[in-house]
């Protein structure tokens, strides 16, 4: 037909894109309560304002003692100590422990001055009312945690850039940091295009039309990456409509994602519209990736833009591979949460081309990975899969029997 | 002292607890929109109401043809076809393809009646205006997806019991299922106890007191397991207060979690209060687990109850191991999301006792797992860790050099 196929001016590998496409856009910070802080990213290191636990604290039930009073104690030759009372839980002891004496203490209570060890109750016996015998010597430091043993004032309790985990919240609560400064969630505008695409809530799309499957799935992936999706609806595949829609989307967004039309013509319209959206413009027109070659990366007036392939399956593969890392970058995540993976043995040959990354959907059963083939237009291949494997750029395929790492969904 | 240590009447292994403690409590179902459905658990299988995509849909840019018209075509001997027009995107073609003819078509458009293949534009050339030559034969079915190839009416798009993933939402959107019935989130009441424990928002706890680190961390784990935490505050360690608080907590809850006091005395009070809370009552008084032995499992008038150890680190280890599976059970999750793990080589000997499961916190660097030791009272061991490994009940320890699976945080 003489049609000029100008769609892939600049094709990059996925590794090049991850290393080289690093827009400077970052969200600001905001203050949130601990209740809302799980998974949020500290804007700067969160530091202990004082020592923790803040006082010497018993870790066993027993008796606060001077360790020296128990030296050499044994079953045959116990040390005898006079019980001078009981430490009350949650109250600072008002007595100092004198030599030759013991104070009953429970796990969690504060050691009295003068004591340097807690003897477990199991290593004691009542010799006579008011006197115990200790049958095992204690060393200084036994049976309690020091004032600053869990954290010292100034210690980093949670680093910047790593999403807060449950135990981090515990540590922050212990330190009284009930409000923390975190990076705001990147606002990710999702623009759908395609003259054949209608909204998911269309009861009867009519023949030749499909509901927008990509946008709701992308919204979930955006949230998983710590972003806040903004579904901007479906825009017709013409230059004017798309230009207006992208300009409006860019204004309020930290990242713009375009779920492009499926035809080459529609993709050309999208590429042109993104090219006109702002400076410096398009960074690459394609990725050496299957599925997902027609992926466009751009930066327009400081806002990163991703143009995704038209079919939902390719779009989701690309967004996991390069979109989620981009959302995390903008959200200042420097330590991404670990991904679930499993090792498995490939049950058949996987052909591939050198120089291209292949993402292959697989089912995993008893340590065996079975590739799911099927046209890239089929979303059902992705919903039937337990995870995916990557055939690296340098490989020309993987033979049956290869041990592979499956990234699980 | 002659104290009777009656705390561990019934000690079970973790495996016994997971297999044997299976309360029947389940949440009801509720209807949510697709926007809020990520991670939610379908109450019953979600089924395609009609075929998908619902029409024969081109997957390449090119020409709709009758495959038979291209048989034997080659570069040397092309097949010549008359171009009878172009199919419009998103519109049902109003023409039937006649023999010897072709219709230009874009990816995503509907095949016309009479066509049984789409020839890629790359395998064609314009012979003269209005006529193309096809240089590669097409087989019936090439270049498009069948009406029911992504899903057939009645196919299960997402099974009951598996939390919805991004691609599942895409499939549901494609099918127009914009509202789905999911299991309600289990309401998990979290009751903190301990006379030395004060609220995390206490500016100056004063000596001998600690802020409640466990409850905020548990709340995050409850959410991760699909539940809705209900923080019930801190209750004094006396039978009457605790009894009242547990009764009130049980009323509105699907699961009750008690973050117990740290001393043996406080745990006894908790055990007695749970024992009186309802029938059939306590299922086990301890787990063969370190840390986490003083864990109590009960079912009280149909509500599962977990009594956790007093120190935050043990409490979180236990809650990950048996609490989160319980919340998922009550929330009807039958396929738990995969956990991130990594294989690593242990860099030193890990002693353990047979008959007891040990959970050991580790740092992982370049495939080497370094155990983090430290008193179980120290939460900092958990925040410093990258993950944990399990030394199984039957092992008496793991020698340095053992390959271990690290569950990552």
Span B239-287, pLDDT tens digits: 999 999 999 999 999 999 999 888 888 889 999 999 999 999 999 999 9
- How much is the pLDDT for A374? 82
Higher pLDDT residue, B49 or A355? B49
Chain B residues lying within 8 Å of A212, measured CB to CB: 173
- How much is the pLDDT for B21? 97
Interface test mutation site (partner A, options B2, B129, B174, max chain A beta carbons within 10 A): B174
Contact B83/A at CB under 8 A? no
Closest in A221, A310, A342 to B107, CB measured: A310
- How much is the pLDDT for A6? 47
Q: How many CB pairs under 8 A join A and B?
A: 307
Contact B377/A at CB under 8 A? yes
* Closest by Cα among B340, B40, B166, B170 to A222: B166
Contact A260/B at CB under 8 A? no
- How much is the pLDDT for B354? 86
Cα torsion B97, B103, B107, B110: sign: negative
Q: What tokens does B119 get? A: 């020839």
- A169 and B382 in contact by Cβ < 8 A? no
Residue B406 has pLDDT above 50, yes or no: yes
Contact B130/A at CB under 8 A? no
Contact A240/B at CB under 8 A? no
Q: Among all residues of chain A, which has the CA nearest to that of B63?
A: A1
Phi-psi group of B231: left, alpha or beta (phi > 0 → left; psi -120 to 50 → alpha; rest → beta): beta
Q: Among all residues of chain B, which has the CA nearest to that of A121?
A: B1
Element (H, E) at A86: strand A79-86
CB burial of residue A403 (10 Å; 0-12, 13-18, 19+): exposed
Q: Among all residues of chain A, which has the CA nearest to that of B340?
A: A340
- Averaged over successive runs of 10 residues, the pLDDT of chain A (409 residues) comes to 50 95 98 97 98 96 98 96 96 96 97 98 95 97 97 98 98 98 98 95 94 98 98 94 97 95 86 96 94 95 96 95 98 95 95 91 97 88 96 91 96
Contact A230/B at CB under 8 A? no
Closest in A165, A166, A383 to B157, CB measured: A383
CA distance B110 to B100: 20
Place B7 in a pLDDT band, splitting at 50, 70 and 90. very low
Kindly report the pTM of this predicted structure. 0.95
Chain A residues lying within 8 Å of B233, measured CB to CB: none
- How much is the pLDDT for B2? 35
CA distance B383 to A157: 8
Asked if B184 and B250 count as a contact pair (C-beta separation under 8 A), the reply is no
Distance from the Cα of A343 to chain B's closest Cα (Å) equals: 10
Residue B5 has pLDDT above 80, yes or no: no
CA distance A182 to A28: 8
| pLDDT, tens only, B87-128 | 999 999 999 999 999 999 999 999 999 999 999 999 999 999
Residue B9 has pLDDT above 80, yes or no: no
Chain A residues lying within 8 Å of B214, measured CB to CB: 170
Q: Among all residues of chain A, which has the CA nearest to that of B376?
A: A59
Distance from the Cα of B112 to chain A's closest Cα (Å) equals: 10
- How much is the pLDDT for B61? 95
Residue B30 has pLDDT above 90, yes or no: yes
- A263 and B59 in contact by Cβ < 8 A? no
Query: Cα dist. B292→A408, B18, B113, B282, B359 in Å?
Result: 30, 15, 68, 17, 9
- B176 and A132 in contact by Cβ < 8 A? no
- How much is the pLDDT for A263? 83
* Closest by Cα among B215, B187, B289, B260 to A166: B215
Interface test mutation site (partner A, options B216, B263, B312, max chain A beta carbons within 10 A): B216
Residue B6 has pLDDT above 50, yes or no: no
> Of chain B residues 317-356, which have a CB less than 8 A from chain A?
337-343
CA distance A28 to A305: 19
Closest in B207, B215, B310 to A108, CB measured: B310
Closest in B61, B90, B337 to A208, CB measured: B90
Contact B79/A at CB under 8 A? no
Contact B61/A at CB under 8 A? yes
Interface test mutation site (partner A, options B51, B52, B108, max chain A beta carbons within 10 A): B108
Contact A215/B at CB under 8 A? yes
Q: Which ipTM value was assigned to this complex?
A: 0.95
Q: Given the structure tokens 């809302």, which residue do they identify? A: A36
- How much is the pLDDT for A264? 85
- How much is the pLDDT for A353? 87
- How much is the pLDDT for A7? 46
Phi-psi group of A114: left, alpha or beta (phi > 0 → left; psi -120 to 50 → alpha; rest → beta): left
* Closest by Cα among A267, A191, A277, A121 to B89: A267
Contact B129/A at CB under 8 A? no
- How much is the pLDDT for A338? 94
Write down the H helix ranges in A256-343: 264-275, 312-318, 324-330
B273 phi and psi angles, rounded to 5 deg: -65, -40
Residue B226 has pLDDT above 70, yes or no: yes
């Amino acid at each position: 037909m003489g049609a000029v196929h100008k769609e892939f001016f600049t094709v990059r590998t996925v590794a090049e894109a991850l290393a080289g496409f690093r827009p400077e856009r970052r969200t600001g910070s905001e203050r949130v309560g601990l209740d809302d802080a799980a998974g949020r990213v500290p804007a700067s290191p969160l530091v202990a304002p004082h020592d923790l636990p803040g006082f010497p604290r018993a870790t066993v039930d027993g008796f606060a003692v001077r360790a020296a009073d128990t030296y050499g104690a044994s079953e045959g030759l116990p040390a005898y100590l006079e019980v001078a009372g009981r430490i009350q839980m949650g109250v600072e002891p008002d007595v100092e422990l004198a030599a030759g004496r013991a104070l009953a203490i429970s796990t969690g209570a504060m050691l009295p001055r003068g004591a340097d060890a807690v003897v477990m109750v199991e290593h004691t016996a009542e010799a006579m009312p008011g006197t115990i015998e200790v049958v095992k010597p204690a060393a200084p430091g036994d049976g309690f945690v020091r004032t600053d043993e869990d954290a010292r004032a100034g210690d980093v309790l949670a680093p910047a850039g790593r999403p807060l985990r449950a135990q981090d919240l515990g540590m922050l609560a212990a330190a009284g940091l009930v409000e923390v400064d975190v990076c705001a969630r990147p606002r990710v505008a999702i623009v759908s295009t395609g003259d054949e695409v209608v909204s998911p809530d269309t009861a009867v799309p009519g023949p030749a039309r499909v509901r927008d499957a990509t946008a709701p799935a992308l919204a979930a992936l955006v949230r998983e990456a710590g972003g806040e999706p903004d579904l901007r609806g479906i825009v017709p595949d013409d230059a004017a409509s798309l230009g207006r829609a992208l300009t409006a989307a860019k204004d309020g967004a930290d990242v713009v994602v375009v779920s492009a039309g499926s035809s080459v013509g529609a993709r050309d319209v999208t590429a042109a519209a993104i090219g006109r959206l702002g400076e410096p413009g398009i960074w690459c027109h394609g990725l050496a990736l299957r599925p997902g070659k027609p992926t466009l990366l751009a930066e327009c007036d400081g806002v990163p833009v991703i143009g995704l392939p038209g079919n939902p399956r390719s779009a989701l593969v690309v967004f996991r591979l390069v979109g989620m890392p981009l959302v995390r970058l903008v959200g200042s995540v420097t330590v991404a949460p670990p991904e679930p993976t499993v090792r498995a043995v490939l049950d058949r040959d996987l052909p591939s081309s050198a120089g291209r990354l292949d993402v292959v959907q697989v089912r995993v059963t008893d340590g065996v990975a079975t590739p799911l083939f099927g046209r890239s237009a089929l979303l059902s291949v992705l919903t039937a899969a337990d995870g995916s494997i990557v055939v690296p750029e340098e490989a020309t395929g993987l033979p049956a029997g290869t041990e592979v790492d499956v990234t699980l969904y």
